[in-house]
Structure 1
Amino acid sequence: MTRHAPWASDPERSRGRLHEEQSGSAPDVPRGPRDAFQRDRDRIVHSISFRRLRHKTQVFLAPDGDHFRVRLTHSLEVAQIGRTIARTLGLNEDLTEALCLAHDIGHPPFGHAGEDALKAALKEAGGFDHNGHTLRTLTEIERVYPRFHGLNLSWETLEGLAKHNGPVRHPGWALAEANRAFDLDLAAWPSLEAQVAAIADDIAYDNHDIDDGLRAGLLTLDQLLEVPLVRREWEAACARFPDVPAKRLERELVRSQIGAMANDLIAQTRRRIAESGVASAEDVRVAGRPLVGFSDAMRAEERDLKRFMYANLYHHPRQLAAAEAAHGIVAGLFAAYRNDPRLLPEDWRERLPVAEPHRSRHIADFIAGMTDRYAVTSYRQAVGPIDLPEGF
């Protein structure tokens, strides 16, 4: 049995679930030899929302290439990095994995372009943000159990998803609703497992987006070598394999950078935990600052890498053209369903609220659950033909 650090989250001390559950005639009897966090992870993996991530944008919209990442593969890679870090730090791997796997479930089709379109469409109805929608999906929209909505995840999993980036002072309406139903203590810091999941996400997309950008031809190695972190790891890779062609070393560069970031994070986090004097998971929540993080030097280098990626990949002209088309698809779908609810599928139409803002939010719920390709198909059915730019 794995021994956890005293400041790790303990499923035996979980604050429980919102709804009492029954298995057969006895309450709260788990199906199989699993603890609360293992059950949460399994519920997430078996959910419809998780399966849909395989056809949702990571960087490239509705990619034609089989080798580009999508939300599903990204989430799996985040979980792999998160579990490794959690194991090394003596944290709960199952909770960390659950948080990593579920962190992007609230993303609508087409990533941030789709999110921007829904945010604009819901301007008078409270707006839209993918993190709040993750909580809404897992506590309300998923409906697979007989007596309650949502997946009925443990408090620790919902808390970690709600505030993995830190305390939430001004929650949007979706997160506020979830919090009213099950108080997630939004003003406190989250568990160390949630903090690890947040930075595992950064490590994954910082480096894997480089891999995809090079593969797509939108980035060049010469461009990347302008970034200090990349140059240092590239020179180290070349020194290890002096007789290997440069093209063959590109993925070694990505692996090397992930290792450098993870090792820095682990060493710095150990120092912070020791200096903080925390002795329990509850101490972590009142520590007043994050305990998982990079060193100052690595944090500065990671920010330089992010700035480079925004300038050269995320805001590449081809990407911006695709994002503009994606924004138009989501905005067009919302307008079509808002003006003529008969276009909605029967089950969504039957549950359509009469009054605002619930009516608009319901329509947004339907659109947010779409995959990229289903959104394109639905647009053509509900609105009409569309010419898609390169990148789709």
Structure 2
Amino acid sequence: MITIVPVETKSQRASFIDFPHDLYEADPNYVPELFLGQEDLLNPKKHPFYKHSQAQPFLAYQDGKIVGRVLAIYNVNHNNFNQVNEGQFGFFDCINDQEVADKLLETAMAWVKSKGANNIVGPINLSTNDTCGLLVEGFDRPPMAMMPYNFPYYIDLITNAGFNKKEDLRAYLVNKANASHRSVLLLDKLEARLERSGIKLRQINLKDFKNEAERIKVVYNKAWDKNLGFVPMTDDEFFYVAKDLKMIVDPKYCILAQKGEEIVGFALGIPNINEILINIKRGRLLPTGLFKLLFGKKKIKTLRVLMLGVLDNYRKLGIEACLYGRIIKNAMPEGIVEAECSWMLDHNYMMNHAIEQINADFYKRYRLYEKAI
């Protein structure tokens, strides 16, 4: 018998977070998320998302054993900004059993419908500003930092439950050995041309982090506003994320394009800390995980470029190429051998073409699903 139970206690929340560790125990590509970070995401008293919206985690039990989990989400800011009335589901993990998957997804649908939603989209792990998408191509290697991972059989579980494709998301891989360095070779000329227009590139100033983050937030909320499912971050949400990223941001990989006092574009790359997290058992920093994290950072060989945005009025000036070029140029002497650029919408032809021009390989595909309720 399958029973779906709402997560209401601290102990249940810990079980919700820990379930994937057991499910993926034999999978060499699985990377455990840090327990503390997941606990904050799911705790209404800690994460700023819950100041404007709601989410309810559920666990599936069979014969007294946890066999699945899901988070039902009703994002008020998303609905208001996009003029829709939909719910989301996220944190979906399940044994390979259609009945268990059906009951979990039906529970999530019933919960968001009770809030007034007429459609459900996922997987989205809280909002599109967090990890989202179901991996549907590229199961042969671990995910990069802040990217999802799942078993291939999840595709059948979700489609058999009546969900249809909404949108695909792309991840590209740039390899140092075969990448075109044209953007690096032309960087000086491109930057000189930008400077004649009064636009200069510089690294983020971590000593003035609060002010820098405030100015980047303006670009972030404007540059992505036409993306599928985008929802602007509140101030609390942006600085919550910025505070966490500050711990791993290297100024060499956070490049700003500035005209006068205005930030008109930026790109952010982060060291792929999943190289370390894959060896931190069950995502616990204590007793030994913290040392692995601290001492392993210098040995990281891969990078993820997770944000690149330019304000509308400054696109097609070559800023994007310069931002990519500066990050590539800075990464080469640091022993970085490859970088992932993710994620891009499948139909974002301009950005996808720009990445393909530097010989990046389209190597992973993620998918968002939807279902009318």
Q: TM-score, normalised by structure 2?
A: 0.27
More strand by proportion, 1 or 2? 2
More helix by share: 1
**Rg larger for:** 1
